[in-house]
Amino acid sequence: MLGAIAGDIIGSVYEFAPIKRKDFQPLFAENAFFTDDSVLTVAVADALLHGRDPVEALKDWGRRYPDAGYGGYFHEWLFSDETAPYGSFGNGAAMRVSPAGLLAHSLEQCLEMAQRVTAVTHNHPEGLKGAAATAAAVFLFRQGAGAPAVRETIAELCGYDLERSVEAIRATYTFDETCQGTVPEALVCALEASDYEDAVRNAISLGGDADTLGAITGAVAEARFGLPEAIAAQAWARLPEDMRGVLRALYQRAGTPAPWAGADDGTP
């Protein structure tokens, strides 16, 4: 989803220079760039769209962009001949899973898709839970559910505490690369927000793993609020054509208008 990619790009410059405020300017820093969060979101979309083995898709796309900033364990897996999962509960499980929420026709199908594309690497229960929560939030908001219903469903599904405020989280939050220390916080950022931009600003302001918080929050916020065309155009302009092609196919399959319409002729 382009909302995840936009959040990733916005957060890219703050991953190793965290901030604790929402009023940073500009929204897209001049040197902002897509990271592994975006590359692997496209890989998951490719796998789900075309019935590819998720291992094959992840290794294909990851190796196309070898310097995108992968986590240590994933990097080792990516450039090896290994195909078995490695028990991770890192937040990479959640940053890439949003296409499952966009393409699914039921919550059950959404959860099955999320499990299928996640378990190939992040087969720890917390990794699977983080992916399920993110994909489910995307799916439920796309179906028109309100924030209270989404909060309740995700809390029942995953046991996350989603009753905290962004301000309360921000006060003590530090860099955390685990699902259990990233996904609930990212969901709160989207649940508390007034629009897409506000959600991503919430996420960056926590002062944590900014690109991944931005990607998870951005995916959920797009499903809830839509993606403003100006933000979509900024993200679209930073993507190579092979990634754009998958996104075109993803939105076409989902029956959703392309949010970058003003920045692209829409040619498949």
Say if residues 48 and 99 touch (Cβ distance below 8 Å): yes
In this predicted structure, what is the pLDDT of residue 268? 37
Digitized pLDDT (tens) for each residue of the chain, 268 residues in all? 999 999 999 999 999 999 999 999 999 999 999 999 999 999 999 999 999 999 999 999 999 999 999 999 999 999 999 999 999 999 999 999 999 999 999 999 999 999 999 999 999 999 999 999 999 999 999 999 999 999 999 999 999 999 999 999 999 999 999 999 999 999 999 999 999 999 999 999 999 999 999 999 999 999 999 999 999 999 999 999 999 999 999 999 999 888 887 666 544 3
pLDDT at 263: 61
- Dist. CA 208–CA 238, nearest whole Å: 23
Q: Say what angle helices 125-142 and 107-118 make with each other, to 10 degrees.
A: 140
pLDDT of residue 267: 44
CB 161 within 8 Å of CB 155: yes
pLDDT, position 157: 95
Amino acid occupying residue 75: H
**Can you give the pLDDT at residue 235?**
97
Query: Model-level pTM?
Result: 0.96
What per-residue confidence (pLDDT) applies to 210? 98
Q: At what angle do helices 36-50 and 54-64 cross, to 10 degrees?
A: 140
Q: How far apart are CA 99 and CA 207, in angstroms?
A: 26
Beta bridge partners, 112, equal none
pLDDT value of position 262: 64
Q: Which residues of 212-228 are buried (b: 16+ CB within 10 A; e: fewer)?
A: bbbbbbbbbbbbbbebb
Q: Which domains does the chain have, with CATH numbers?
A: 2-263 (1.10.4080.10)
